[in-house]
Amino acid sequence: MQGLHMVGVRHAYGRTQVLNDISLTVPAGELVCLLGPSGCGKTTLLRIAAGMERLQGGSVTIDEQVVAAPNVQVPPEERQIGFMFQDYALFPHLSVFDNVAFGLFRLDQGAARTRAMEVLEQVGMTHHADKHPHLLSGGQQQRVALARALAPKPRLVLLDEPFAGLDTNMRARVRQQTLSVLKQTNVATLMVTHDPREAMFMADRIKVMGENGQILQSGRPEDIYYNPVEEYVARLFGPMNMIKGTVRNGALETSFGVLSVNGQDDGAAVRLLIRPEGINLSSNGDQPGDTPVEVISAHLLGDSSIVRIRIRDGINSGAEFQARIPGAFDLMGGGRTWARVDPAHVFPYPQEQ
Amino acid sequence: MFSPILKNNKPTESFDMVEITQSFKIEVEAIDADHRRLVEIINEITDAIDDGRAEECVALVPNFVEFSQQHFEREEALLTKHAYPLAEKHRQHHVGLTDKMKTIQALSERAAHSQPAADALRKELVFILMDDVINEDLAFKSFLVKAEAEGGAG
Ligand SMILES: Nc1ncnc2c1ncn2[C@@H]1O[C@H](COP(=O)(O)OP(=O)(O)OP(=O)(O)O)[C@@H](O)[C@H]1O
Ligand SMILES: [Fe+2]
Ligand SMILES: [Fe+2]
Ligand SMILES: [Mg+2]
């Protein structure tokens, strides 16, 4: 199959085991994101794919060529991979054009020129071709770095936190451009990030790594967000509300009504995690599950607000929660407020013993 | 226009969407044969999508789901027969794919009317087979090849 295929990759630095049996498949044309905490081994895995780190166990295959296996170690420059690593900057003494043409030494001068201009066109940077990198903005530099990575028509693109140095607006723009260029190119891409929203935006498939150097969950962004298999995965997307309790008749009684905890046995101690965006607020309280709350504070974030609330009635009376609502919250109005939970944002996990 | 990446210098049209190439072989014929059949079903589905017959997905996707289930049972029986130490863990992995099977069934029902659903279905089928099903099987490859060689002679 065309693309990247890693099987059972293991890696240790000295006596510290960093990667434990990592397997992944990136078909040509698809973008897979590795998402995980700092130090879990994401960069190490990319360096193994690239050949910058010697393989210790498992195998790496690109377009059905085995590039790393117990008795095979194809050097990086022969793997036909394009990189965009955080610490893999543009050459400051070369022009934009020369940076992009740098990897095209196998082509004659005319063909190299044509190809370099073609990719610069693709990333919208032809009019900056003669400039030196220090005259470009961070976002423009990233676009040149992408052009340089794609110029030799790699079989695989590896991106390691490629947008980390950019401010929010620039980051969103470059992210969008990078994605559309990669999709036009139809190349297999493996990208590393520890920003879950960036992974959601970019990825066809997300692979969540845990601190133990194993993959905890693989799936579409929707699967990771709506079906997190572990509490750790659920918590990736930000702070969570929590209700503890004991399962009765396959459900947990809460101030928000009886919430189902499918998969947990009766009598089991569970924690229900509720996303802030899963708590809806209203001023009339006429829906089933509406419970009266006291609003403690509201914080406008721009397109949404975080509203801190305290439950007034029922089994969770006095407990505080965070709701995330679209737009601003009218704290000054002084009217009464009710809260309701959207079951799609509720995740039950067993309480640790 | 930008040309697509060269794929072994062969025109891409001659390729099926997926195939069991060397790096995906378990080298135990009973299992590889099942995996090849799953690939065939996927290629029938992607052909239907590409030929403007996406309405056939509703009938074809259950073939994939049902054959996967039968395959999982055969594979689990083989692992148990050879006392593979992680057989139970692998069985759990198969059970864990239930939600993804539901997802592709839901997508198949929308594929006829929605190109994004058809695209998502195609993508997810390939990932389920190559990344979830086969790649996880490769973990027992060496164990099973050895066990079959020893057991097969007797
Ligand atoms: N050359 C090295 N020698 C020894 N230990 C290393 C080396 N490189 C990385 N490590 C350690 O291996 C672990 C994994 O590092 P790695 O850089 O792969 O993590 P990461 O997931 O990319 O983290 P981050 O998100 O912070 O970039 C870390 O604990 C790190 O300290
Ligand atoms: Fe299998
Ligand atoms: Fe399996
Ligand atoms: Mg890193």
pLDDT digits (tens, 9 = 90+) for A309-346: 999 999 999 999 999 999 999 877 778 999 999 999 99
How many helices (H) and strands (E) in chain B?
Answer: 7, 0
Chain B residues whose beta carbon lies within 8 Å of the beta carbon of residue A227? 99
Q: Which class would CATH give A241-350?
A: mainly beta
Query: In the CATH hierarchy, which fold is given to the domain comprising B6-150?
Result: Four Helix Bundle (Hemerythrin (Met), subunit A) (1.20.120)
Per-domain residue ranges for chain B? 6-150
Q: What's the pTM value of the predicted model, to 2 decimals?
A: 0.92
Mark the ranges of chain A whose per-residue pLDDT is less than 50: none
Provide, rounded to the nearest whole percent, the portion of chain A with pLDDT above 70: 99
Q: Which residues contact A60 (CB under 8 A, 6 or more apart)?
A: A4, A5, A6, A9, A48, A49, A66, A67, A68, A69
Residues of chain A with CATH 2.40.50.100: 241-350
Beta carbon of A42 within 6 Å of any ligand 1 atom: yes
Residues of chain A with CATH 3.40.50.300: 3-235
Q: Which residue is listed with tokens 């980051």?
A: A171
Q: Report the b/e string of B60-76 with b at 16+ CB within 10 A.
A: bbeebbeebeebbeebb
Chain A residues whose beta carbon lies within 8 Å of the beta carbon of residue B21? 1, 64
Beta carbon of A41 within 6 Å of any ligand 1 atom: yes
* CATH of range A3-235; options 3.40.50.300, 3.40.470.10, 3.40.47.10, 1.10.10.10: 3.40.50.300
- Pairwise CA distance, residues A269 & A255, whole Å: 17
Element (H or E) spanning A323, and its range? Answer: strand A320-326
- Pairwise CA distance, residues B32 & B24, whole Å: 9
pLDDT digits (tens, 9 = 90+) for A76-118: 999 999 999 876 689 999 999 999 999 898 899 999 999 999 9
ipTM summary value: 0.90
Q: Which residue is listed with tokens 């996990």?
A: A349
Burial grade of A327 (CB within 10 A; 0-12, 13-18, 19 or more): exposed
Interchain CB contact of B138 with A (< 8 Å): yes
Element (H or E) spanning A44, and its range? Answer: helix A42-50
